[in-house]
């Protein structure tokens, strides 16, 4: 029976082609006929000298070991077997280690064969995964949000919704394409109110030495941003390596064309502003003086005869960090991104760090007083070319991080405007744990020019893993006309399921913002608003 067991094991281990039966004592109608002749054809079993198989005889361990040794030799010669097959062979080799050793086969030989086979299996699995990815190249993510509002001043409820589908298709290993579909107001019951927009389309090719993206692009800021500051627009962007430099070219065809070459130490930029009909060229230098100190300089000249320059210096002295920035921009200098423009193709508001007719800069010093306490001082000064002051503002800030994992921290800030002699003082504490489930945050700000006191108190209560409550109380000593001096809001958040959230709340008197060191912490009116929002992401 042991011989029959061996035959069964090896039949499952190897699926071999069928040849003529060499054994006279194995009839054609025997249930093991195909298995016996397959193994014999490959030399795994050889039978007895008289030409018989002897299927009914008891098998010795030596005979069994000889068959296993031949099976191992077959695997090593072919270089492949399934993972399950290898596991069976490994167990057999361990069981018959002594007998296999007498035939010149060791467990180490098997382990070597198994290792090679495992690598082959890994390659095969990788090919299968690639094929599966090829047949499923499209991935869709997105979100749905429905918002209900009922304001007390009109008592007219509104329901709005927005659904986004982000569709990304893998064309090949180097090319992807995508588009965002946005559908709004499908729940109003008025088909004409429903809007469908297709936006953020792109085709992205990532080659070894060149990359090309067409559609929604956002090139990085060039140098210090005199000619181009990062912005999101619909156009084309290409980068490539050539002549030991990194080259970048991008365009929004109805607006501008820009090209930059970066050789590490030196960069050169050229741009054409089609809307203004202006050409501008520039160069920049970036140099690491040492591991802690670097300097950057950029200059630009445009076809109108106007020009601009900027410089930045950063260093560390022990734990102290120092940053110096300066700029000089003539009155007529207005390169690629130095404007706000709206085009039918895609309305875009470009931001720019430098204004025309400006001479100024900024100094910032940061220092960690302890591992948890960090301080910073910032002074910003800007003037016209004729030295008429525009901005002269100093800000000091201390941040004490109590627990980085829970974002518990205290913050004290003081800003002083030298032009108006006004100041803004701010103090705040975030995520103080009153209990394990209840956290409090509070802040207070005083703006001297209008003698305005504003304060906010927030309580966050985690009732369970899926249910939480937030309560806000606000105070504004100088609210908008006709508005009270206090405001409050309560919001209940329920995680209905994974990626599905419902928020229901009520705001009593609208609150403008919660930003420190500016005068926009105002209560706007006496309108109460009931809100409910269902959001789903996928």
Mean pLDDT across the chain: 82
* Helix (H/G/I), strand (E/B), else coil: 477: coil
Which band of pLDDT confidence, cut at 50, 70 and 90, is reported for residue 529? Answer: very high
Question: Can you tell me the distance from the alpha carbon of 385 to that of 383, in angstroms, rounded to the nearest whole number?
Answer: 6
Is 138 or 25 the better-scoring residue by pLDDT?
138
Residue 491 vs residues 152, 459, 495, 512, 517: alpha-carbon distances, Å: 17, 11, 13, 17, 26
pLDDT tier for residue 71 given thresholds of 50, 70 and 90: low
- Phi, psi at 24, each rounded to 5°: -75, -20
Token output for 318:
């022990």
pLDDT score at 461: 97
Helix (H) or strand (E) holding 150: strand 138-151
Give the pLDDT confidence score for residue 3 in this predicted structure. Answer: 39
* Measured distance CA(481)–CA(503) in Å, rounded: 30
Tell me the pLDDT band of 518, cut-offs 50, 70 and 90: low
Three-class DSSP category at 442:
strand
pLDDT attached to residue 517:
62
Contact between residue 518 and residue 413 where contact means Cβ atoms under 8 Å apart: no
pLDDT value at residue 213:
97
Here the tokens at position 146 are: 């429905």
Helix or strand holding residue 119 (H, E)? helix 107-135
> What are the contacts of 102-109 at 24+ separation with CB within 8 A?
102/62, 102/65, 103/65, 103/66, 103/69, 104/69, 105/68, 105/69, 105/72, 105/73, 109/72, 109/76
Q: What is the DSSP string of 255-290?
A: TEEEEEEE-SSEEEEEEEETTTTEEEEEEEEEEEEE
Residue with tokens 């300097």: 295
Q: What is the value of pTM for the model shown? A: 0.68
Q: What sign results for the dihedral spanned by CA atoms 262, 263, 268, 274?
A: negative
Average pLDDT rounded to a whole number, residues 477-483: 92
Q: For residue 329, which phi and psi values (nearest 5 degrees)?
A: -130, 120
Does 346 have pLDDT greater than 90? no
DSSP per-residue string spanning 12-50: HH----------TTS-TT-TTHHHHHHHHHTTS----TT
Q: Which helix (H) or strand (E) holds 108?
A: helix 107-135
Q: How many CB atoms lie within 10 A of CB 393?
A: 19
Cβ atoms of 525 and 496 within 8 Å: the answer is: no
* DSSP secondary structure code for residue 193 in this structure: G
DSSP state of 192: G
Torsion, Cα of 11, 13, 14, 19 (10° steps): -20
% of the chain with per-residue pLDDT over 70: 71
Polymer length of the chain:
538
Closest by Cα among 61, 10, 59 to 32: 10
Tell me the C-alpha distance between 227 and 305, whole Å.
15
> For 177-202, what is each residue's pLDDT tens digit?
999 999 998 887 666 677 888 888 99
> What pLDDT, on the 0 to 100 scale, is given for residue 17?
37
Residue 224: pLDDT above 50? yes
Residue matched to tokens 């290898």? 86
- Asked which of 11-15, 218-222, 320-324, 405-409 is least confident by mean pLDDT, the reply is 11-15
Structure tokens belonging to residue 158:
């509104």
Kindly state the average pLDDT of the residues 298-314: 95
d(CA 128, CA 136): 12
Q: What local confidence, expressed as pLDDT, does residue 1 receive?
A: 36
For CA atoms 191, 194, 195, 196, the dihedral sign is: negative
Residue 429 C-beta-side C-alpha neighbours within 13 Å? 9
Q: Which of 19-33, 89-103, 152-166 is the most confident on average?
A: 152-166
> How many whole angstroms separate alpha carbon 348 and alpha carbon 345?
9
Residues facing residue 245 across a β-bridge: 242
Check whether 399 has a pLDDT greater than 60: yes
Q: Which among 366, 358, 352 is positioned nearest to 328, based on CA atoms?
A: 358
Domain ranges of the chain: 2-135, 432-538
Residue 218 is encoded by which pair of tokens?
A: 């956002």
Cα-flanking dihedrals φ and ψ of residue 339, to 5°?
A: -165, 170
Instruction: Please report which confidence band the pLDDT of residue 230 belongs to, taking 50, 70 and 90 as the band edges.
Output: confident
**Nearest partner of 250 among 282, 218, 277, judged by Cα:** 218
Distance CA 310, CA 412 (A): 32
Looking from the CA of 438 toward its CB, the CA atoms found within 13 Å total: 5
Q: Which residues neighbour 535 within 8 Å (Cβ) at sequence distance 6 or greater?
A: 143, 144, 145, 146, 500, 501, 502, 503
CB atoms within 10 A of CB 227: 28
The position carrying tokens 């703006």 is 447
In this structure, which long-range contacts are made by residues 32-35, counting pairs with CB atoms below 8 Å and at least 24 apart in sequence?
32/4, 32/7, 32/8, 35/7, 35/8, 35/10, 35/11
In degrees and rounded to multiples of 5, residue 161 shows phi and psi of -150, 155
Per-residue pLDDT averaged across 478-484, rounded?
Answer: 92
């Amino acid at each position: 029976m042991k011989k029959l067991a061996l035959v069964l094991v090896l039949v499952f281990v190897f699926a071999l082609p069928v040849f003529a039966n060499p054994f006279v004592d194995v009839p054609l109608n025997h249930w093991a006929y195909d298995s016996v002749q397959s193994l014999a054809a490959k030399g795994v079993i050889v039978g007895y000298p008289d030409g018989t198989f002897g299927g009914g005889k008891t098998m010795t361990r030596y005979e069994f070991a000889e068959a296993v040794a031949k099976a191992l030799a077959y695997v090593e010669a072919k270089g492949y077997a399934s993972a399950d097959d290898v596991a069976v062979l490994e167990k057999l080799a361990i069981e018959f280690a002594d007998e296999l050793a007498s035939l010149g086969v060791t467990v180490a030989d098997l382990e070597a064969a198994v290792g090679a086979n495992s690598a082959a299996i890994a390659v095969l699995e990788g090919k299968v995964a690639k094929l599966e990815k090829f047949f499923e190249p499209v991935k869709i993510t997105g979100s749905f949000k429905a918002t209900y509002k009922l304001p007390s001043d009109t008592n007219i409820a509104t329901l709005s919704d927005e659904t986004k589908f982000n569709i990304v298709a893998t064309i090949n290993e180097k090319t992807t394409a995508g588009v965002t579909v946005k559908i709004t107001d499908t729940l109003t019951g008025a088909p004409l109110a429903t809007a469908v927009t297709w936006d953020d389309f792109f085709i992205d090719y990532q080659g070894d030495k060149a990359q090309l993206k067409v559609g929604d692009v956002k090139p990085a800021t060039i140098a210090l941003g005199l000619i181009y500051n990062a912005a999101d627009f619909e156009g084309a962007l290409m980068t490539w390596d050539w002549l030991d430099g990194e080259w970048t070219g991008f365009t929004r065809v109805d607006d501008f064309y820009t090209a930059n070459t970066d050789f590490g130490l030196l960069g050169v930029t050229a741009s054409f502003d089609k809307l203004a009909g202006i050409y501008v060229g520039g160069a920049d230098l970036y140099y690491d003086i040492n591991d802690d100190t670097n300097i950057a300089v950029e200059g630009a000249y445009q076809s109108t005869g106007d020009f601009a320059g900027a410089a930045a210096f950063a260093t560390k002295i022990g734990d102290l960090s120092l940053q110096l920035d300066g700029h000089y921009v003539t009155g007529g200098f207005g390169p690629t991104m130095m404007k706000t423009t709206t085009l039918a193709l895609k309305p875009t508001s470009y931001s720019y760090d430098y204004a025309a007719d400006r001479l100024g800069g900024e100094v910032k010093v940061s220092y960690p007083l302890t591992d948890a306490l960090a301080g910073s001082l910032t002074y910003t000064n800007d003037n016209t070319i004729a030295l008429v002051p525009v901005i002269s503002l100093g800000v000091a800030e201390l941040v004490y991080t109590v627990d980085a994992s829970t974002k518990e921290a205290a913050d004290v800030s003081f800003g002083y405007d030298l032009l108006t002699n006004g100041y803004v003082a701010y103090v705040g504490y975030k995520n103080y744990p009153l209990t394990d489930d209840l956290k409090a945050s509070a802040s207070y700000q005083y703006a001297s020019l209008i003698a305005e006191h504003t304060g906010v108190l927030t309580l966050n209560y985690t009732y369970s893993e899926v249910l939480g409550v937030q309560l806000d109380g606000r105070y504004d000593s100088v609210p908008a006309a006709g508005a009270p001096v206090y405001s409050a809001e309560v919001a209940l958040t329920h995680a209905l399921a994974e990626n599905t959230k419902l928020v229901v709340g009520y705001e009593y008197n609208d609150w403008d913002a919660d930003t420190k060191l500016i005068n926009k912490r105002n209560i706007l009116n006496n309108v109460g608003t009931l809100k409910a929002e269902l959001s789903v992401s996928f």
